[in-house]
Structure 1
Amino acid sequence: MGFAGAMVVAMATDALLGWPDRLFARIDHPVVWIGKAIAALDAYANRESDSPATRRSAGLAAALIVIMLAAAAGWAMQRLMPSGLRGAVLSGILAWPFVAFRSLYDHVAAVRDPLRSANVEAARKAVSMIVGRDPDTLDEAGIARAAIESLAENASDGIVAPIFWGVLFGLPGIVGYKAVNTLDSMIGHRSPRHEAFGWAAARIDDAANFVPARLTGFLFALLAGNERSQAMACMQKDARQHRSINAGWPEAAMAGALGIRLCGPRSYNGAMANEPWLNGSARDPAAVDITRGLELYVGAMFALAVVLAVIALV
């Protein structure tokens, strides 16, 4: 079955189980382990007294250390795997924690449910768990927009990208990618502390997500039914306007598929960011569009699993 079969096992296991709270309480989560290593290197090597050039070099070294250690751990585990079906199943179970299929669905549905009941405060609290913008500034359309954008972007970062690298390189690929993604989320943002130190982490993440982001966008467009051509056109027209070289592809495809506008101005820490609209002439989203987005997401991930299963069997 090979690596493709192992990734199908990982997706199926996560869809069925997620990451159980009892298991999390006992051993944390492998991504938490990676995060602790990143935090330790950040505290040790990111010195404010150093020059920006020195901090940039230190950040590059820290990123490479974390990625290589993570990939090496994956390689060591893969070396222990038997061949054939049993090896693919065991590899898939080991890859399972690095696929966020179910948790992404649950987090976005947690925004949809109170919004559908007109409980705006609860919806704001839920959306604050998955986006960095100021939740108090969001009306119902802003909450729905944030949830759908997070769904589209994290479908790429949390499922398609790790699966992509897992299919190519097995456990070293999926574990190494998760290290890349965790580095970006922890130190890859433009804050005074991480502008220089996290520069390499952000650039590596951009490279690692370049192909998966576009694959995710095309998956959304292909599964958009009667809106397929609109989704494809919106992606081709608007994806490059996004501030991220990658996130615009799945977000624009989702916007076109649902017939809504995404992105646009938003507030971070009290400061307005005038982001361009994706599918700007369309209407604002509502709670029902989160449901439609979740349905498209599930359909696209199921289609990905079917393709991988066919590859594994052939």
Structure 2
Amino acid sequence: MVRPRYAADAAGIVLGALLDVVFGDPRRWHPVAGFGRFALMVERRTYADDRVAGARFAAVAVGVPVAAAALAGRLTRRRPLARTALVAAATWAALGGTSLAREGRVMADRLESGDLSGARAQLPNLCGRDPSALDPPELARATVESVAENTSDAVVGPLFWGAVAGLPGIVGYRAVNTLDAMVGHRSARYARFGTVSARLDDLANLAPSRLTGALTVAAAPVVSGDPAQALRVWLRDGSRHPSPNSGQCEAAAAGALGVRLGGRNVYGSRVEERPHLGDGGPPAPLDVRRAAALSVTVGAAAVGLAAAARWWRGRR
């Protein structure tokens, strides 16, 4: 017999994923945007150019929503329908897989039609690179890398933590990931203040990124890829990336798609030279479309695993 609250969590995860498939990200009143406004308010009251202030900021900005989620979970322990609805809403708000795949397909459409200016205008929807001087192969590479990385951040990550900790796990992961996007990047203002937020995000994604890599290897046949090649490239190149997590996803995707990723990336005035991942040639527009399909497949597998894990944990 499965305890009702765990069954409700499993059902909520599946229902929330279905809501993401049908509706994608909410276009108005997105809860993550509301959290962003809350985090900005906390930042205004805690900011100082040092890591201690950044730690206080992260503790409040993550701790408050996690505490609220834990309280809501406690109040719905004996109300399975309410709990299912709550977990479904949080899962829908935390997931971004449908929107991610859609943006990838739009890029593929524009590259296939030769619409270079449209493709450059599309790239900011996927990543923060400067698209102004990028040619079609570089736009395709940027898209494949972004889709691979964000399959972990926007799909597998919240599902993994939902499986581990239920509603507080989903909310806490999304809070940490959002803080990293807000203050974890390199800049004069956040060089020290954002350090704790960035490291929290690294820790929160250690397991999800590697699960994403494993699921990408398993899903390679869906995009006519070779799982053995994907596994070989993942194990060989996954740790070459400067990020402890992004490289796991990108290397596995490079192996599954049979392409080569990495190279010179321009972010405004900052230039980074990334190591090459994979053995193939540069991604083509068709590979962008394949990357979107791979992301959808990995996401579907992650939903099933998360729901099954939550259900199994609730067995008496």
Describe the SS at the equivalent of 2:125: coil
Q: Does 1:192 align with 2:191?
A: no
Q: Does 1:113 align with 2:113?
A: no
- Structure 1 position 19, deviation (Å): 2.9
CA distance in structure 2 between the aligned counterparts of 1:135 and 1:6, rounded to whole angstroms? 39
Q: How does 1:4-83 map to 2 (within 5 A)?
A: 4-21=10-27, 24=28, 28-47=29-48, 52=49, 55-81=50-76, 83=78
Match of 2:134 among 132, 138, 143: 138
Show the counterpart of 2:250.
Answer: 251
Cα RMSD over matched residues? 1.8
CA distance in structure 1 between the aligned counterparts of 2:163 and 2:283, rounded to whole angstroms? 35
Show the counterpart of 1:277.
Answer: 276
CA distance in structure 2 between the aligned counterparts of 1:73 and 1:310, rounded to whole angstroms? 25
Q: How does 1:204-215 map to 2 (within 5 A)?
A: 204-215=200-211
CA distance in structure 1 between the aligned counterparts of 2:241 and 2:125, rounded to whole angstroms? 22
Which letter maps to 1:44? Answer: R
CA distance in structure 2 between the aligned counterparts of 1:244 and 1:4, rounded to whole angstroms? 32
Q: Does 1:165 align with 2:161?
A: yes
Distance 1:165 1:311, change over 3 A: closer
CA distance in structure 2 between the aligned counterparts of 1:108 and 1:83, rounded to whole angstroms? 41
Gaps of 5+ in 1: none
- Structure 1 position 216, deviation (Å): 0.4
CA distance in structure 1 between the aligned counterparts of 2:187 and 2:140, rounded to whole angstroms? 27
- Structure 1 position 184, deviation (Å): 0.3
Q: How does 1:144-155 map to 2 (within 5 A)?
A: 144-155=140-151
Native 8 Å contact 1:81 1:90 kept in 2: no
Q: Does 1:124 align with 2:125?
A: no
Show the counterpart of 2:287.
Answer: 289
| TM-score scaled by length of structure 2 | 0.90
Q: Deviations over 1:212-255 (max 9, x none)?
A: 00000100001112510111111111111101000100110000
Q: Which shifted more, 253-262 or 86-95?
A: 86-95
Describe the SS at the equivalent of 1:278: coil
CA distance in structure 2 between the aligned counterparts of 1:75 and 1:313, rounded to whole angstroms? 19
Show the counterpart of 1:240.
Answer: 239
Native 8 Å contact 1:261 1:285 kept in 2: yes
Distance 1:164 1:176, change over 3 A: same
- Structure 1 position 3, deviation (Å): 2.8
Native 8 Å contact 1:114 1:122 kept in 2: yes
Match of 2:220 among 214, 220, 224: 224
Q: Which shifted more, 109-118 or 216-225?
A: 109-118
- Structure 1 position 92, deviation (Å): 3.1
CA distance in structure 1 between the aligned counterparts of 2:87 and 2:15, rounded to whole angstroms? 5
Distance 1:313 1:189, change over 3 A: closer
Aligned residue pair count: 302
Match of 2:88 among 93, 107, 113: 93
Native 8 Å contact 1:3 1:169 kept in 2: no
Describe the SS at the equivalent of 2:266: strand
Which letter maps to 1:142? Answer: E
| TM-score scaled by length of structure 1 | 0.91
Distance 1:37 1:110, change over 3 A: same
Describe the SS at the equivalent of 1:240: coil
Which letter maps to 1:11? Answer: A
Aligned identity (percent) is 37
- Structure 1 position 74, deviation (Å): 1.2
Native 8 Å contact 1:2 1:312 kept in 2: no
CA distance in structure 2 between the aligned counterparts of 1:88 and 1:302, rounded to whole angstroms? 22
Native 8 Å contact 2:159 2:306 kept in 1: no
Which letter maps to 1:238? Answer: D
Distance 1:204 1:39, change over 3 A: same
Distance 1:311 1:271, change over 3 A: closer
CA distance in structure 1 between the aligned counterparts of 2:290 and 2:86, rounded to whole angstroms? 33
Gaps of 5+ in 2: 1-6
Q: Does 1:203 align with 2:203?
A: no
- Structure 1 position 82, deviation (Å): 5.5
Q: Deviations over 1:180-209 (max 9, x none)?
A: 001100000111100000000001110000
Distance 1:288 1:78, change over 3 A: same
